[in-house]
Structure 1
Amino acid sequence: MRKARLILLAGLGTALAVTGPGMSSADPGTTAVNGAVVHTADAPEPGYWTAERMREATPLDLLEATPADLSGEVPTGDELTVSPTDGHVSAVPEGGGPWTGGGDVVTTAGRVFFTMDGRNASCSGNAVTSTNKSTVITAGHCVKYQGTWHTNWTFVPGYHDGQSPWGQWTATETLTTPQWEASEDMNFDVGAAVVAPLNGKLLTDLVGGQGLKFNGAYNQVMYSFGFPAADPYDGSKFIYCSGTAFKDFLLTQDHGLSCDMTGGSSGGPWFYEFNESTGTGLQGSVNSFGYVFLPGTMFGPHFGTDAQNLYNTAQS
């Protein structure tokens, strides 16, 4: 087994090196609940996410992550670079580009905004069906990264060019898998948020919610959605990719899909059984990362039992 260095790239202006596993933090606001890690979220001040701040929020795609051992041959030698949907991808073979099909996905998906180390950043997310009608699924690095939970966490469904047509939904709790919380294992890069009611309404009562699929098959037709904000995108458009996904040959548990989405799309949903007419499907992954040596491709974690535990904890 050769040692390969994993590097996450997050566009917040400064590269931060992390040297070793064990990123779990002793945050008193964090607890382990039923196979998930739950953090009491720090809410933004009212009116914090102005149109200008949302437009200027930088995609989370230029921070360095943990070294890791990977089985098999490393195509680029001993240094393997990995980035969460970071601009090193460049092709959509089947469909793709701006989503113009309408349907439920236009309101269930949205941009995620948060503050990390004093800098405003963005990801993507998706509202899902849930008991509490208030659950958003995103990537793990979109709720916690480099040992720090993000603050000012807000979900904006149906975002468009600084506008919040369905309102801004503030997280009361953010959650991730134990594996991501402990060592930022890319196979478990899944996050969630429980958002507070807005004007007396619950999230999915207003925007709808997508179903989920756990332990789904590999090599299936999948659709991926997000709000890429790194060049050549600017975060203003809702972008999708589609095609037959494949199983990652290095991290072994992840889905791969040809796609040109860039930073800021992290956390956007991947769907099985997506219906273009209704804009509905079963979410089985999220936009997570890409290999620099493999342009034109992005990857997302397979939703298995750990992702299911995360979802069940969030919705309860």
Structure 2
Amino acid sequence: MSIDAIQRASKKIRPIVKETPILTSKQLSEKCNNDIFVKAEHLQTTGSFKIRGAMNKVSDVAAKGETAIIAASSGNHGQAVAFAAKTFGLQATIVVPEDAAIPKINAIQAYGANIIKHGYTSEERINYAKTLEGTFIPPYDDPLIMEGQGTAGLEILDQVKDIDIVLVPVGGGGLLSGVLLAIKQTNPAIKVIACEPAIADDTYQSYKQEKRVHIGQTETIADGLRTSIPGEMTFPIVQQYVDDVVLVTEEEIKAAMMFMYERMKQVVEPSGAVTIAACLGKKLQVTGKRIVPIVSGGNVDLFSLHHYLP
């Protein structure tokens, strides 16, 4: 994996994947005591960054003549794979957790994919999905997936000048590892910091202990970040390049969602709000810096929005 591979992925997926905008808010910057430039992946095709990796991987699978693909997802990866499958004329089956958000299930089905509910953790659904017939599309542990996600990092470098820090949500580590490669192999001086829910801190614990740590099932509202252990392929890249991992509480995630909704008129899902929570919660302990938080998704069940409110 390299910056060259990420650049090739960018050219390949460009017909479908948007270059998402950078959003600014004077009030957000003032509250954070830094200049904040929000990378709006919640405005991406299918509502999250996941389409980047899915298109890069599924296009490769389709070129090899495969006709059926399988994915395991809390929602956003499933939507992206379902969309990619429809784009290339493949049949997709998506294994989702028993408590998957209804809007995410509805969106997956709208793209023509089959749904199977199984388990609650990423480990459970991934292991089950691998038993099904078809080509498995990993949510993060795959070079093509990681390279696709890294294209968000390339865009950030083009869109924002003189960056000091990039903040990235972390679950399995696909987005984080891809962005790390894109940014650190271009400008190592830019700090990249992972943001994670405090009650789903497998990457934090793994980073501190310098080995992959399994934490079991978690109940964070950031359902896209409910991984039990960092990826086998993603974690070595995280170890090599990441500058730090910070944790945010459930209440801080909710407050960040509310700020984005009330002040910036943006609907952001809990997993996408962790970077904003880190900024508002002063987790970085810096001032006067140019910071780019990636807001990774916006697929929220509006009928259950009261559960997310502080």
- TM-score, reference length from structure 2: 0.31
Higher relative contact order (CA 8 A, sep 6+): 1
More strand by share: 1
